[in-house]
Amino acid sequence: MEAAIRLEGLTKYYGRDRGVVGLDLEVLPGEVFGYLGPNGAGKTTTIRLLLDLIRPSSGRALVLGADPRTGGPELRRQVGYLAGDPALYRKMTGRQLLTYLGHLRGLDGLGPAEMLAERLELDLSRPIGDLSRGNRQKVAVVQAFMHSPQLLVLDEPTSGLDPLMQREFYRLVAEAKEQGRTVFLSSHVLSEVERIADRVGIVREGRLVVVEGLEALKAKALRRLEIHFAGPVPREEFAALPGVQDVVVEDGLLTCTAVGSIDRLVKAAARYEVTNVVSHEADLEELFLRYYEGAGDAA
Ligand SMILES: Nc1ncnc2c1ncn2[C@@H]1O[C@H](COP(=O)(O)OP(=O)(O)OP(=O)(O)O)[C@@H](O)[C@H]1O
Ligand SMILES: [Mg+2]
């Protein structure tokens, strides 16, 4: 099976500034691939290279088997692209812009864009410049999906969308996957990619540090937990649980770090009267540190 995206030593320097360095990656057809990294890591650079908006310093990218540089309109028609900071014609209404883009992509009029706009509760009759940031983002989402492309390349697609609309967007991704399309999307939110991706690549300072299946990633996920009890609880009992670290008990409040499954911890807690549980996902930096320390060991 030919990869939907293949990166071979893909490297981009902006003058002397590092964009991305030596990326090797294969994204399979039908896969939802989450591209995760903090600000400045190189996500947008990678995506712009895939779209031939910038050119590699060395190495190469293949998109649907073609070189993005020579793929031309043929390739473009098969790719849906959502830019990190979408530049849209502000004077046009959503309907005008989407109709125009639809024509470019061989659609007759709005095509599926009408239905997509409805699902995202986007008003197509207003000039794009008058829309709120979240609503402009919806236009960007609709234009990426409207021609049912084989491959979706989405740069932080949920940024600016409220939680309800994010959920609708996740549905769109799930449907695209069901139809056998490939989705490559960037994010800096671990919980988001955990939710929708089959595999995750973590990029840090221009390099791919980790490429993992979701299960493996979850098994290593760190979570900070706060468990509030009605009365005091014995610290030792919790500290002895496998995968539970940094246990602190103050009065009825237990805080700890849990690695992977929290099942045992929850069951241990349930033997006392629990009044509240708060869980925070670890930030990316902590996740990186774990990968560097443990080199893949989930202990
Ligand atoms: N046009 C440019 N000229 C010079 N350096 C650039 C340019 N575009 C990006 N860079 C640099 O390349 C690196 C990667 O940037 P990139 O925009 O790809 O990061 P990102 O992962 O998309 O970050 P964010 O989460 O903030 O969107 C950064 O150090 C950035 O400063
Ligand atoms: Mg970016």
Please, what are the domains in the chain? 5-218 (3.40.50.300), 222-281 (3.30.70)
Q: What separation in Å is there between the alpha carbon of 43 and the centre of ligand 2?
A: 5
Q: What separation in Å is there between the alpha carbon of 203 and the centre of ligand 1?
A: 12
Average pLDDT, integer, range 142-146: 96
Nearest CA owner, ligand 1 atom 4: 14
Q: What separation in Å is there between the alpha carbon of 34 and the centre of ligand 1?
A: 18
Is the Cβ atom of 120 under 6 angstroms away from ligand 1?
Answer: no
From the CA of 82, the nearest ligand is 2
Say which residues have a Cβ less than 8 Å from residue 195's Cβ, sequence separation at least 6.
170
Is the Cβ atom of 188 under 6 angstroms away from ligand 1?
Answer: yes
Average pLDDT, integer, range 38-57: 96
Specify the pLDDT at position 298. 40
Is the Cβ atom of 39 under 6 angstroms away from ligand 1?
Answer: yes
Specify the pLDDT at position 191. 81
From the CA of 39, the nearest ligand is 1
Nearest CA owner, ligand 1 atom 28: 40
Residue with tokens 């609503």: 135
What residues sit around ligand 2, an ion, with C-beta below 5 angstroms? Answer: 43-44, 84
Nearest CA owner, ligand 1 atom 1: 14
Per-residue pLDDT for 297 more than 60? Answer: no
Neighbour tally for 124: CB within 10 Å: 20
Residues 254-289 pLDDT 10s: 999 998 888 999 999 999 999 999 998 777 777 766
Residue 125 sits at φ, ψ, to 5 deg, of -90, -10
Is the Cβ atom of 127 under 6 angstroms away from ligand 1?
Answer: no
Residue whose C-alpha is closest to residue 58's, from 17, 16, 23: 23
Per-residue pLDDT for 296 more than 70? Answer: no
- Among 163-172, 174-183, 278-287, whose mean pLDDT is lowest? 278-287
Specify the pLDDT at position 294. 53
Residue 19: pLDDT band (50, 70, 90) is very high
Specify the pLDDT at position 108. 86
Residue type present at position 71: G
Per-residue pLDDT for 247 more than 90? Answer: yes
Question: Over pLDDT 90: what percentage of the chain?
Answer: 75
Average pLDDT, integer, range 3-31: 97
Residues 83-138 pLDDT 10s: 988 777 889 999 999 999 998 888 888 889 999 999 999 999 999 999 999 999 99
Q: What average pLDDT does the structure give for the chain?
A: 91
Is the Cβ atom of 19 under 6 angstroms away from ligand 1?
Answer: yes
